[in-house]
Chain A
Amino acid sequence: MRRAVVNRVLLGAVGVLLLGVGALVLAGGLNLYRHLGVQPPSRWPLVSPDRPLLSERSRMRWVARDWWWPAVIGGLSVLVAGMAWWLVAQLRRTGLSSIAVPTPGAGGLRLRVTARALEDALERGTAVLPEVERAGVRLVRAPRHPRLRGAVRLTPGGDPVGLVEHFEDGPRADARASLGLAELPAELRIRVLQAAPVEHRHRRHRRRRRHPRVI
């Protein structure tokens, strides 16, 4: 979740910057201030269409100052480091390979269960719930605590509310209890198949994905 917030804030910042600079240049280049009769405030940049985008003089304005080059190099370094961090954050897998299991009363013992084992157990437990055609479950990282992500396909006429209740009280509660975890939240994505009119059937069949994808 936190990564999603960072992504949106940074995407928004880059977007606003591009939009703002582009709009300023367009307004100046198309001479909109004149056409619309608007008087921009003094020192407003990029006003007249016959001036260059970045004149030699404005580029060289601070070059002679002592702080200029350290500031440019420092600023660019921060930008490069920040962007590298942002990129790496996207490449990090959301899946987990194992989950820590609390071992109360056994000091010094640290126990981890592989995610695959947990996922298999949950998938099998979910697949046998009523009206479930196919189920996939993944253990993913989340800010405070690992969480489960499931993709479930129900048979035609299946009951989504019933599935959620059965999953919560069945496989999820079992997994949480047997691992002794304080919490193991889950999100499900539910699809429902269609029994449906015969003439549409073959078309729907082709579009249907073989395996539900856990997003």
Chain B
Amino acid sequence: MSGAEEEAPHGKVPRLRAPRTAAAALVSTAVLVAAGALLYDVVAVRAGQPARRWRAQLADELATRRLDDVWVLTGAGVAVVLGGCLLWLALAPGLRRWLPLRPYGETTAAIDKGGIAHLLADRAAGLTGIEELRIRVGRRRVRVRLVGAADPASVQRQLREELARVGVARPLRLDVRAARGAGGAVGGDGRSEVAG
């Protein structure tokens, strides 16, 4: 890889965003059914047929139920929750388990967060003095909790090397914390930035 590419600003690689196909299909179907039924009935009434019972009933309910009616309030609550969910679907990126890697040529790639955890766990498995290791991979940082006699700083050094090898577009911070274990004292918190 050329030096220029390595130096490129990492912020340029966008997050993966879900296409929201299923939600779009669901919402479009619902609106299609409702609007289609209404259109059919409106046209039928204009053509001289009597309105369907559901429409007359709906108009009647809307005209008689007051705003503080339980059903109106329930419906409004449902609408608020549903609207919030749809807005969330529209704005949230989705595909959170994938972290983009630095692109190379015309190939872009993303790695599973679990995959990063596997790599770190395998690297740590070769070290001595670790009884238990808990790895949580986030989008910005990796948190490692370790129980055992091993020195957190040296574990961190090893894991940092491994993390740099992964090549994530946005650098991941690595926090290694030693929990109280058979080793005794609580080790110092290691923190570091990995240009990974």
Q: How far is the CA of A195 from the CA of B125 in the complex (A)?
A: 9
Q: Is B49 an interface residue (CB 8 A)?
A: no
Most chain A beta-carbon contacts within 10 A, residue among B1, B59, B107, B114: B107
Supposing A160-B111, A168-B107, A184-B106 touch, asked if A19 and B80 sit within 8 A by C-beta, the answer is yes
For B116, give the chain A residue with the smallest CB separation: A192
A80→B36 CA distance, assembly (Å): 6
What's the Cα separation between A104 and B105 when bound, in Å? Answer: 25
A168 in complex: contacting residue of B85, B105, B110, B166, CB < 8 Å: B105
Q: In the complex, what residues of A have CB within 8 A of residue B42's CB?
A: 69, 72-73, 76
A11-B20, A19-B79, A90-B24 given as contacts; is B73 within 8 A of A25 (CB)? Answer: yes
Contact indicator per residue, chain B 142-165, by CB within 8 Å of chain A (1) or not (0)? 000000000000000000000001
From A19, A163, A183, contact of B84 by CB (8 A): A19
Chain B's nearest CB lies how many Å from the CB of A52? 5
Interface-central residue, A20, A29, A172, by most chain B CB under 10 Å: A29
Q: Which of B95-131 contact A (CB under 8 A)?
A: 98, 101-102, 104-112, 114-116, 118-119, 121-123, 125
- Kindly state whether residue A197 has any CB partner on chain B within 8 Å: yes
Given contacts A76-B35, A167-B107, contact A28 B67 (CB under 8 A): yes
Contact B20 A160 (CB under 8 A): no
| B32 contacts across to A, CB distance below 8 A | 80, 83-84, 87
Most chain-B CB neighbours within 10 Å: which of A55, A188, A192? Answer: A192
B-side contacts of A9, CB under 8 Å: 90
B43 interface residue (CB < 8 Å to A): yes
Interface residues of A in 172-202 (CB under 8 A from B): 172-173, 183-197
CA distance A167 to B112 in the complex (A): 18
Cα A193 to Cα B115 in complex, Å, equals: 7
Distance (whole angstroms) from the CB of A185 to the closest CB of chain B: 4
CB-based contact B36/A194 at 8 Å: no
Interface size class of B (residues with CB under 8 A): 35 or more
Whose C-beta in chain A lies nearest to the C-beta of B106? Answer: A185
Q: Which residue of A lies closest to B91 (CB)?
A: A12
User: For the complex, what is the distance from the CA of A195 to the CA of B114, rounded to whole Å?
Assistant: 13
Q: Given B17, B20, B31, B46, which contacts A83 in the complex, CB threshold below 8 Å?
A: B31
Contact in complex: B80, A23 (CB < 8 Å):
yes
The CA-CA distance from A79 to B27 in the complex, in Å, is 13
**Minimum Cβ distance to chain A for residue B70 (Å):** 9
A197 to B123, CA, bound (A): 11
- In the complex with contacts A11-B27, A11-B86, A192-B104 CB distance below 8 A: no
A214 at the interface (CB under 8 A from B): no
Contacts of A50 in B (CB 8 A): 66-68
Instruction: Check: A164 CB closer than 8 A to any chain B CB.
Output: yes
Cα(A182)–Cα(B123), bound, Å: 41
Whether the pair B104, A80 counts as a contact (CB closer than 8 A) is: no
Residue of B whose beta carbon sits closest to that of A176:
B106
Closest-by-CB residue of A relative to B114 is A191
Q: List 29 A-B contacts (CB under 8 A).
A: A7-B23, A8-B90, A12-B91, A14-B27, A19-B80, A22-B76, A25-B76, A26-B77, A29-B67, A29-B73, A30-B73, A49-B68, A50-B66, A52-B63, A59-B62, A73-B46, A80-B32, A80-B39, A87-B28, A90-B28, A91-B25, A160-B165, A164-B107, A183-B106, A187-B110, A191-B111, A191-B114, A192-B112, A192-B114
The 9 nearest A-B residue pairs measured at CB: A19-B83, A15-B86, A18-B83, A22-B79, A12-B90, A192-B115, A22-B80, A15-B87, A25-B76
Residues on A facing B (Cβ under 8 Å): 3-4, 7-12, 14-23, 25-26, 28-31, 46, 48-56, 59, 69, 72-73, 76-77, 79-80, 83-84, 86-87, 89-91, 154, 156-161, 163-165, 167-169, 172-173, 183-197
